[in-house]
């Protein structure tokens, strides 16, 4: 609990209507989209509620909040849309949630520089709408476009449907304004390339708010494509589809969408080519040839068009049923759907062997893979795991054990345990194992910038 010596100055900074301390609000802010079912071994992270929520509307107000917190040793947790799936916003040590959603102004769209400068809390979908009016679009297109914020996507380095052409969210970042844990403001320059020292943007990309609060971002934007061509190839084996994805990528063909999915019914490579007409036609033709050479069959644009059209449905449902609701509502929505979705990255040459070894781990455990997929690059390999019988609760211990083994196998084979959603509370215990000395360096940086560990403590294993 915070006493009036803290609450009062917070209300002076943001106004009393923007300091929330009621139990209902503390409950709904003290989680993201991670359900405790999937937080194997980290369930106690959900034991505490935040002590307060503050809702600043400017960088100056964020500086005021951070300076107060630094003086009083109060923990701060940056909060964007609260749609993360790893527990990055869970206040495991209590403290003050800093909700950036009022900082939602689109400050500049520059069609010549091909950049947009926005405040941290702009929802990706709102930016997309404004850009479209000027014939532009963002490069980051996750399922969660209707609900996630620009700074949340930067802080998790998320991956989206156009990542095959434009890369993950981190690749979109040109410049950042960040309030450091001591209240100083870092503002990097909006140029695409640095050689005068390291590019500090990378300290904050994928860092889950442990080094500061992003208040503003300049990101790359792109012309709306002259044309879009959808194509779908069907394969008898995942390996054939994988070979097609490897060959396409090696040849330098960059579809916007590259998604290979194997489920119980089919094995399909979904491709979307976007851009100027002649380039798209050439890429499509060559990609189709490659798919046929590796054993695929062209089954037309239909399945990929449908896939593209429906890509945001899960987020639309999440917005209607769960976003901003109390934890009980979010968690009960989970119902009997007790599955886990894992997103590993490995060198191309190891992915197929890794898949075989994962199958061996699962044999006889009651856990099966409902879906194998590649998303945007052949190195980015995902598996949806679920119990054979549908009785998820009974098999939870097996699921937890399999997940741990599958993730550590990826690390042991020279890969990483997560390419998309961050670490949060769910994967915290495995990060030092993965990073080794690099984790020591991250710890040293944290010690220098945030010696009292006020900024999202307990995340990134810090
Ligand atoms: C239905 C659904 C679909 C999804 N689809 C995708 C997908 O396709 N691709 C994908 O990558 N992810 C997806 N996600 C996960 C989620 O949307 C992403 O992780 C997203 O990037 C999080 O954005 P957010 O604004 O909600 O961040 P939050 O959940 O609020 O925060 C995420 C992390 O960033 C930190 N943070 C937030 N704002 C700031 C800030 N201003 N400064 C510093 N740190 C900050 C938080 O402390 C936390 O650690 C999906 C989630 C749902 C519920």
Residue 61 CB less than 6 A away from ligand 1: no
Q: Closest ligand 1 atom, CA of 159?
A: 11
Residues of 238-260 as b/e, b for ≥16 C-beta within 10 angstroms? Answer: bebbbbbbbbbbeeebbbbbbbb
Average pLDDT over residues 240-253: 98
Average pLDDT over residues 283-299: 98
Residue 84 CB less than 6 A away from ligand 1: yes
Residue 155 CB less than 6 A away from ligand 1: yes
Centroid of ligand 1 to alpha carbon of 392 (angstroms): 26
Q: Give whole-number Cα distances, 6 to 13, 65, 75, 398, in Å.
A: 11, 10, 12, 45
Query: Residue 113: left (phi > 0), alpha (psi -120 to 50), or beta?
Result: alpha
Q: For residue 103, name the pLDDT band (cuts at 50, 70, 90).
A: very high
Q: Give whole-number Cα distances, 406 to 116, 262, 314, 399, 430, in Å.
A: 39, 18, 26, 10, 12
Q: What digits encode the pLDDT tens for the residues 27-56?
A: 999 999 999 989 999 999 999 999 999 999
Average pLDDT over residues 164-172: 98
CATH 3.30.465.10 spans which residues of the chain? 106-223
Q: For residue 334, name the pLDDT band (cuts at 50, 70, 90).
A: low
Ligand 1, pocket-test mutation among 33, 120, 144, 343, most atoms within 8 A of CB: 144
Q: For ligand 1, atom 27, which residue shows the shortest CA distance?
A: 152
Centroid of ligand 1 to alpha carbon of 149 (angstroms): 7
425 HSE (CA, 13 A, CB side): 27
pLDDT at residue 395, rounded to an integer: 80
Q: For ligand 1, atom 9, which residue shows the shortest CA distance?
A: 142
Torsion angles phi and psi, residue 434, rounded to 5? -75, -40
CATH for 227-309 is 3.30.70.3450
Residue 214 CB less than 6 A away from ligand 1: yes
Residue 143 CB less than 6 A away from ligand 1: yes
What would the two tokens of residue 430 be?
Answer: 């495995």
Query: How many Å is the maximal CA-CA distance in the chain?
Result: 71
Is CATH 3.30.43.10 what the domain over 4-99 is classified as, yes or no? Answer: yes
What would the two tokens of residue 391 be?
Answer: 């009785």
The gap from C-alpha 346 to its chain's centroid, in whole angstroms, comes to 18
Q: For ligand 1, atom 20, which residue shows the shortest CA distance?
A: 153
Dist CA 8 CA 226 (whole Å) = 55
CATH 3.30.43.10 spans which residues of the chain? 4-99
pLDDT at residue 203, rounded to an integer: 98
Dist CA 49 CA 347 (whole Å) = 40
The answer to whether the CB of 251 falls within 8 A of the CB of 294 is no
CATH 3.30.70.3450 spans which residues of the chain? 227-309
Q: Closest ligand 1 atom, CA of 142?
A: 8
Average pLDDT over residues 60-83: 97
Dist CA 150 CA 169 (whole Å) = 9
The CATH class that applies to domain 106-223 reads alpha beta
Residue 256 CB less than 6 A away from ligand 1: no
pLDDT at residue 392, rounded to an integer: 62
């Amino acid at each position: 609990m915070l006493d009036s010596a803290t609450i009062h100055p917070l209300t002076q900074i943001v106004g009393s209507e923007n300091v929330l301390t009621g139990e209902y609000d503390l409950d709904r802010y003290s989680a993201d989209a991670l359900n405790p079912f999937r937080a194997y071994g980290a369930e106690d992270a959900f034991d505490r509620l935040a002590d307060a929520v503050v809702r600043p509307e400017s960088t100056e107000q964020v500086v005021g909040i951070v300076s107060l917190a630094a003086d009083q040793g109060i923990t701060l947790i940056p909060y964007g849309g609260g749609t993360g799936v790893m527990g990055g916003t869970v206040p495991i040590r209590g403290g003050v949630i800093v909700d950036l959603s009022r900082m939602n102004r689109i400050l500049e769209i520059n069609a010549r520089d091909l950049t947009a400068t926005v405040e941290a809390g702009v929802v990706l979908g709102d930016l997309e709408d404004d850009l479209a009016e000027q014939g532009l679009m963002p490069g980051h297109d996750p399922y969660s476009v209707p609900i996630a914020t620009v700074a949340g996507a930067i802080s998790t380095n998320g991956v989206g449907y156009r990542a095959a052409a434009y890369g993950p969210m981190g690749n979109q970042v040109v410049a950042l304004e960040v309030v450091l844990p001591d209240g100083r403001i870092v503002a990097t320059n909006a140029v695409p390339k640095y050689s005068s020292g390291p590019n500090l943007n990378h300290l904050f990309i994928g860092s889950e708010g442990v080094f500061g609060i992003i208040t503003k971002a300049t990101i790359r934007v792109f012309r709306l494509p002259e044309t879009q061509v959808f194509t779908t190839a069907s394969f008898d084996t995942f390996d054939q589809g994988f070979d097609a994805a490897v060959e396409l990528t090696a040849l330098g063909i960059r579809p916007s969408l590259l998604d290979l999915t194997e489920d119980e019914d089919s094995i399909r490579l979904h491709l979307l080519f976007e851009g100027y007409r002649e380039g798209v036609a050439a890429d499509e033709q060559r990609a189709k040839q490659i798919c046929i050479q590796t054993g695929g069959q062209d089954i037309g644009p239909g399945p990929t068009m449908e896939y593209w059209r429906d890509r945001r449905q899960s987020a639309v449902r999440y917005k209607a049923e769960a976003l901003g609701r109390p934890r009980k509502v979010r968690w009960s929505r989970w119902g009997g759907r007790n599955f886990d979705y894992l997103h590993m990255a490995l060198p191309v040459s190891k992915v197929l062997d890794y898949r075989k070894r994962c199958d061996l781990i699962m044999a006889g455990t009651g856990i099966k893979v409902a879906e194998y997929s590649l998303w945007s690059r052949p190195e980015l390999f995902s598996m949806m795991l679920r119990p054979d019988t549908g009785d998820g609760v009974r098999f939870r211990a097996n699921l937890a054990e399999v997940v741990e083994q599958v993730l550590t196998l990826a690390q042991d084979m020279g890969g990483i345990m997560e390419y998309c959603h961050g670490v949060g509370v769910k994967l915290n215990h495995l990060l030092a194992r993965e990073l080794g000395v690099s984790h020591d360096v991250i710890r040293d940086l944290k010690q220098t910038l945030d010696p009292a560990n006020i900024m999202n403590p307990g995340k990134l294993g810090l």
